Amino acid sequence: MAGKQGRDLALSMLRTLPRVCLNNIRDNPGARKPTKRGRGQHGGNQHGTSKKGSGHRQNFMRPGYETGNNPFYLRFSREPYYKGHHLRREYPPLSLQQLQMFIDTNRIDSLKPIDLVSLINTGLYNIKLEWKHAGVHLTDEGADNFKAKVNIEVQWASEPVIAAIEKNGGTITTAYYDSHCLYAVKDVTKFFSTGEPIPRRLLPPTDCLEYYTSAATRGYLANPEEISYERLVLAQKYGYELSKIEDDPDYEMLIKRKDPRQLFYGLAPGWVVSLKDKAIFKPKAEYLKEFYSS
């Protein structure tokens, strides 16, 4: 009898009371106690800062301030080594080992002339104009393992690098690129999409004019007869037999050079390349032809 009454009582409670759900679940009274931070020994009136001085007031010292002493930039006001450092041209290095790797992995076709555009199109070499980069510095790392025969144009190269390339029957040229041309070379697709005409290369400034007119550095403004003589001198110095380019089956590729004003192979300064129309527009006005001519 007692069980039956208890069952009826439970059923009546279920009819009257709401169902248990997330919005009516509560903890037992006194199960949770709110945590309260005490005042501490000294009252906690510093608010996370120090006791006195500029740290308490949060007026921080300016950069270079040495608490009343004569600062560094006034004690050593002049350093000749850093004079004009923000204007100096930088040449990101590219080793012969990396160049050989580009050729072996078919990132570069050694049967065609190699220039700055070919190296950037590999996706593994990049220049940053905001860092005053001015082109490729070809280094002699991996010169003993370099076996490719190439016709390459770089912006800076040392004597061992020139010897390593000419030893394999290749040719090398050092050429100057101004900042406006480097902007066009850095991202060719972006430059052609702007619709601007291909700029003409400017002549090198006075601080590097001697380098690009020297036959010993294979400058692009040097006398070809002097370059032939320097090739022979370098071969005798490093002890290798200089091959005759005239008898080489790749003679046309090895002697191919850009005009001193030319930026891209096969494209002349002043031409407009339209990627949308897939066409090349050439200047017709006489004053434009005269301006872009070499």
Compute the distance between CA of residue 218 and CA of residue 228 in angstroms, rounded to an integer: 10
Residues sharing a CB contact under 8 Å with residue 88, sequence separation 6 or more, in sequence order: 132
Residue 3 — very low, low, confident or very high, per pLDDT cuts 50/70/90?
low
Compute the distance between CA of residue 208 and CA of residue 156 in angstroms, rounded to an integer: 11
Task: For the chain, list the strands marked E by DSSP.
Answer: 93-95, 137-139, 151-154, 156-157, 171-174, 272-274, 279-281
Residue 44 — very low, low, confident or very high, per pLDDT cuts 50/70/90?
low
When pLDDT is averaged across residues 251-260 and rounded to a whole number, the result is 90
Q: What is the pLDDT of residues 85-109, one digit of tens each?
A: 878 889 999 999 999 999 999 999 9
Query: What is the 3 state secondary structure string of 195-241?
Result: CCCCCCCCCCCCCCHHHHCCCCCCECCCCHHHHHHHHHHHHHHHCCC
Q: What is the pLDDT of residues 192-211, one digit of tens each?
A: 998 889 999 999 999 899 99
Contact 245, 255 (CB under 8 A): yes
* β partners of residue 219: 174
Best CATH choice for the domain 86-266 from the list 3.30.360.10, 3.40.50.10420, 3.90.950.20, 3.100.10.10: 3.100.10.10
Q: What is the pLDDT of residues 47-93, one digit of tens each?
A: 666 667 766 777 778 888 888 889 988 888 777 877 888 788 899 99
Question: What pLDDT was estimated at residue 210?
Answer: 93
Secondary structure (3-state) at 86 = helix
Contact 147, 107 (CB under 8 A): no
Question: What pLDDT was estimated at residue 25?
Answer: 83
- How many Cβ atoms sit within 10 Å of the Cβ of residue 196? 13
